Structure 1
Amino acid sequence: MNIRLGRRSFLSAAAIGAAASLVGCSGGEAEETQEQARQLVIGATAAPAALDPSTNSGAAISQALLYNVYETLVKIDSSGDIVPLLATGWNESEDGLTYTFTLQPKATFASGAPLNAEAVKTSLERIVNDDSVIATLKSQLGSMESVAAQDDSTVVVKLSQRDNNWLYYAAQTAGIIYEPDRLDQLDTAPAGSGPFVFDSWSEGNPMVLRRNDSYWGTPTVFDSVTIKYFSDPNAENSAMSSGDLDVISNVQAPQSISQFQGTDQYTILNGTTMGEVVLGFNHQREAFSDVRVRQAINHAINRSDLLQTVTAGYGTLIGSMVAPTDPWYEDLSGTYDYNPDTARRLLADAGHPDGLTLALRVPNLPYATSAATFIASQLSQVGITVTTDTLEFPARWIDEVMTKSNYDMTIISHVEGRDIEKWANPDYYWHYDNAEFQRLITEARTGPADEQTERMKQAARLLADDAAADFLYSMANLVVLRSDISGVPENLTSESLDLTAASSTNI
């Protein structure tokens, strides 16, 4: 593999090697120095704002830590299937109310502390009962009535009602098993059982993970992983071209992908993600209480052209809050065609013959700022004046948009799995309140399992027809790797950038 020493480290290694030769240093010691330098360096976009994924919103935390540092009873593999992880297997009762998990007998936390049924019980109960845990995770496991440690290796979870999504959410951030004695340290010292352990991170600096030498399962081949965060996609591409990166985890300037094509130096993956890019409306604003205004905006934006402009055509047009890898995905992108004349007529019918002015507040992420420019131009052609404001992400965007709801429209990629359910919560930052949609989501989750897919399709169609937002597209998982690197997933089927199988032909 490419040994990631960097210029300063390389000079130091060379100097050490020269000095060692003068005193008769053995070749074995030199080889050991090189072995310790096996690093995987990854470029990413959105940096975390904190480190505890249970108490802080922001996908970047789980992207770095889930499955790599933290593990769950079951995980979502690269095909989207739920498979064993800390549990060797599980049974579900016929009525769907009881799950029984058998734990891996060799599993321990990285510190050496036992990972037993009591540890699992502590973590799962904390998600539901601890007031500091974010509301989204509480709702994901909210149907859990009790957790029992039947013995050291058997966990029994009882639900208050059937929940067809419970196991899915238990495979992601909500289901992380934390070391019980270190729960008060999670925001500075993540404590899990994965093949990597947290080494360092601070705001403005890379995230560094190192190998867990006592890992209970198949160990990673890398001594460390460094995740470098780039707000400028061109700087990220330059870092890849100059050899400072091994992987770009998701290319933010797809128009530039050609610089990595046509050479055997790189491998390019073009997969799918769970990231639905949404032009969200604040339904507390008077303008958006009228469905005709929402429909007008949907008709006024040419989403096919937007995809070409923002992503060079990479990605999937969707039309509702469903990613292509979801079981109930349908292409609803044609619900509202591009028709500026219809948009103008709808605005006039809604009492805005002279147009209206809306504030579009977006995070300083490349896809969002590029889409904002395109959308502002398109809406101006139907009489909507857009004032655009770019907010630092994540802290300021989360504070102004998600927390204070101080916006008319915004653009963000929602990357959590099955996040269509968020539209059933009127308190969420969109403030969308539709009783029929809420009913369908409840029936899909708590009704017969074999009816879930059809109920979810109905909910997705309702969301599209009601123009609850303008669902722009689903992000592509466009990954660039140095040609010797393998084992990085093509599709993002979970909240994790799963590096547990990453390898190199040069190791």
Structure 2
Amino acid sequence: MSLKTSLTLALAGLMMTSAAALAQPTEIKIGVAFEPPALDPTAGAAEAIDVVVYQNVFEGLVRIDKDGAVQPGLAESWTVSDDGLNYSFKLHDGVTFHDGSAFDAEDVKFTFDRILAEDSVNAQKALYAPIASVEVVDPLTVDITLSRPDGLFLFNIGRGDAVIVAPESADNNATDPIGTGPFAFVQWDRGSRVILEQYGPYWGDKPALTRASFVFIGDTGAMTNALLAGDIDGTNNFAAEALPVFEGNPQFKVLVGLTEGETILATNNRKAPFDNLLVRQAMAHALDREEIIEGATYGYGAPIGTHFAPQNPDYLDLTGTYPHDVEKAKALLAEAGYPDGFSATLKLPPVAYARLSGQIIASQFAEVGIKLELVNAEFAQWLEDVFANKDFDLTIISHVEPFDIGIYANPDYYFGYDNPEFQALNETLTATTDAAERTKLVQQMQTIIAEDAVNGYLFELAQTGVWNAKLEGMWPNSPVEGVVLRDIHWTE
């Protein structure tokens, strides 16, 4: 071999090595706090399921984007009848499931028939109750007929609960999920991680990432160490108290946004003295939201005055309805027949924002004469006592379902609010599809529950992500549950 040839080969090797060193990585490791109990979002309520698979492994007829808007998904387009009862969806051609089987209208019909079946275990089955029939017109056209207009129908079929599954694989999706999304399931190392890889024949735009691992790390200290050591590349929702470790560090970026989690001092409206509006108004005046937000969320989160997400364009700022006023609270208690206050219990689930908020609220209520006994409960006990048996005075919880103001129309719901005017407005809202009219109605509903002080409205739970500074495309807000990978990519 000549000297010239040797030098040429050496230079070529050096160039290849340099190119490889400069090539952008295409894999990502994401730390998540909870391991999902299963991987089928149509058969489980846990948010941890959607965090891993929503819009990654599974897709719906439509999808929800980072701003909470409805976008085309497996359906490339749709038309709606004038009466708002019939939706005709035109499906993308050439779509396959990850096992290679073809996607068509029969899969759509199977999916919704399964959701509505008598033995369905879908956590949000009630959302799809307006569906009267699903008809296959041809392999790429499906018609869905509703029994009544539903202004949230398109949004609801874009949720993880309504992703499209195939009859051949649906029964195994809990452990071996097979969808149509840009990433296919590879393996689940129980207690450790779930691995996804880019699906080569994906019908849509190819994501920049080729591989994603969701690593389960439940401890804040362990998550911090994993981030600092580079064992993971980011996490979608990090503990607020540990964020100062990463703020100002050029190796990381902190993304602060909001979830759909309205955090409330839930009140048993069916039980004395909370069935008295004056008492509820007094409690509302006793609350100092800013102190609660600072102490329970380290300043993250947004104050709310009603049960509605402040990032929603239809949100009405009602935080001034009952401003913090200790003397006003005392006067209202006296007017209600409790000049010396009263005693009550505050049952708290095992989440930091609830336990910390509980301590602060107990101190604030003590100023007006309300003595709270804090009762800590594990989630199973909390669900049984509070949610199922309604055996509670007060509790603190975040309601994370999008657009769930309709729960106030159910007098059997755990906080027991029974207002026929609100119920009638909710019925009208459900049947209304005109955007301007829906805004008017939902703002009326927000105002009613704020003025009735049904619950103590505290703050919208924040989403605080910590990511490698070279990553882009993560969602700052969380309009639906999930860590959507399609737009995430590495930069130089």
Letter in 1 for 2:350: N
Q: Secondary structure at 2:315's aligned position in 1?
A: coil
Distance 1:399 1:178, change over 3 A: farther
Cα distance in 1 for residues equivalent to 2:478 and 2:169: 30
Report the Cα offset of residue 76 of structure 1. 1.3
Letter in 2 for 1:436: E
1:171-196 deviations in whole A, cap 9, x for unaligned? 11332111222333333333322122
User: Is 1:43 aligned to residue 31 of structure 2?
Assistant: yes
Residue of structure 1 aligned with 2:86, choices 76, 95, 98:
98
Residue of structure 2 aligned with 1:455, choices 441, 447, 455:
441
Letter in 1 for 2:409: A
Cα distance in 2 for residues equivalent to 1:478 and 1:494: 15
The unaligned stretches of length 5 or more in structure 2 are 1-15
Cα distance in 2 for residues equivalent to 1:45 and 1:498: 16
Cα distance in 1 for residues equivalent to 2:169 and 2:390: 34
Residue of structure 2 aligned with 1:371, choices 348, 357, 381:
357
What are the within-5 Å matches in structure 2 for residues 382-401 of structure 1? 382-393=368-379, 395-401=380-386
Bigger-Rg structure (1/2): 2
Quote the residue 1:175 is aligned against: 162
Of stretches 74-83 and 57-66 in structure 1, the one that deviates more from structure 2 is 57-66
The unaligned stretches of length 5 or more in structure 1 are 1-27
Q: Secondary structure at 1:369's aligned position in 2?
A: helix
Aligned length: 475
Cα distance in 2 for residues equivalent to 1:284 and 1:159: 34
Quote the residue 1:424 is aligned against: 409
Of stretches 37-46 and 366-375 in structure 1, the one that deviates more from structure 2 is 37-46
Cα distance in 2 for residues equivalent to 1:432 and 1:189: 42
Residue of structure 2 aligned with 1:113, choices 86, 91, 101:
101
Quote the residue 2:283 is aligned against: 297
- The answer to whether the 8 Å contact 2:150/2:433 transfers is no
Cα distance in 2 for residues equivalent to 1:396 and 1:472: 24
Distance 1:203 1:320, change over 3 A: farther
Q: Secondary structure at 1:52's aligned position in 2?
A: coil
Q: Secondary structure at 1:126's aligned position in 2?
A: helix
Residue of structure 2 aligned with 1:61, choices 42, 46, 49:
49
Residue of structure 1 aligned with 2:427, choices 442, 447, 453:
442
Quote the residue 1:410 is aligned against: 395
- The answer to whether the 8 Å contact 1:279/1:469 transfers is yes
Cα distance in 2 for residues equivalent to 1:497 and 1:423: 29
Of stretches 469-478 and 227-236 in structure 1, the one that deviates more from structure 2 is 227-236
1:5-29 deviations in whole A, cap 9, x for unaligned? xxxxxxxxxxxxxxxxxxxxxxx9x
Q: Secondary structure at 2:144's aligned position in 1?
A: strand
- The answer to whether the 8 Å contact 1:119/1:179 transfers is yes
Residue of structure 1 aligned with 2:135, choices 134, 142, 148:
148
Distance 1:239 1:352, change over 3 A: farther
Cα distance in 2 for residues equivalent to 1:151 and 1:343: 64
Q: Secondary structure at 1:288's aligned position in 2?
A: coil
Cα distance in 1 for residues equivalent to 2:195 and 2:395: 32
Of stretches 315-324 and 206-215 in structure 1, the one that deviates more from structure 2 is 206-215
Cα distance in 1 for residues equivalent to 2:44 and 2:385: 16
Distance 1:448 1:51, change over 3 A: closer
User: TM-score, normalised on structure 1?
Assistant: 0.86
Residue of structure 1 aligned with 2:249, choices 253, 257, 263:
263
1:37-73 deviations in whole A, cap 9, x for unaligned? 9642223335444443334323222232211121111
Distance 1:149 1:467, change over 3 A: same
**How many percent identity over aligned positions?**
36
User: Is 1:288 aligned to residue 274 of structure 2?
Assistant: yes
Distance 1:280 1:179, change over 3 A: same
Quote the residue 1:83 is aligned against: 71
Q: Secondary structure at 2:125's aligned position in 1?
A: helix
Quote the residue 1:195 is aligned against: 182
Cα distance in 2 for residues equivalent to 1:144 and 1:475: 32
Report the Cα offset of residue 258 of structure 1. 2.7
Of stretches 459-468 and 488-497 in structure 1, the one that deviates more from structure 2 is 488-497
User: TM-score, normalised on structure 2?
Assistant: 0.88
Report the Cα offset of residue 441 of structure 1. 1.3
Report the Cα offset of residue 453 of structure 1. 0.8
- The answer to whether the 8 Å contact 1:363/1:391 transfers is yes
Q: Secondary structure at 1:289's aligned position in 2?
A: coil
Cα distance in 2 for residues equivalent to 1:57 and 1:217: 28
Report the Cα offset of residue 103 of structure 1. 0.8
Letter in 2 for 1:178: V
Superposition RMSD on alpha carbons, in Å? 2.8
Distance 1:400 1:241, change over 3 A: farther
Quote the residue 2:4 is aligned against: none
1:83-103 deviations in whole A, cap 9, x for unaligned? 111111111122211111111
- The answer to whether the 8 Å contact 1:444/1:453 transfers is no
User: Is 1:124 aligned to residue 109 of structure 2?
Assistant: no
- The answer to whether the 8 Å contact 1:141/1:174 transfers is no
- The answer to whether the 8 Å contact 2:70/2:158 transfers is yes
- The answer to whether the 8 Å contact 2:156/2:162 transfers is yes
- The answer to whether the 8 Å contact 2:289/2:458 transfers is yes
Quote the residue 1:236 is aligned against: 223
Report the Cα offset of residue 496 of structure 1. 2.4
Letter in 2 for 1:417: P
Letter in 2 for 1:245: I
User: Is 1:488 aligned to residue 474 of structure 2?
Assistant: yes
1:216-266 deviations in whole A, cap 9, x for unaligned? 32334434333344444344333322322211212322x432321223211
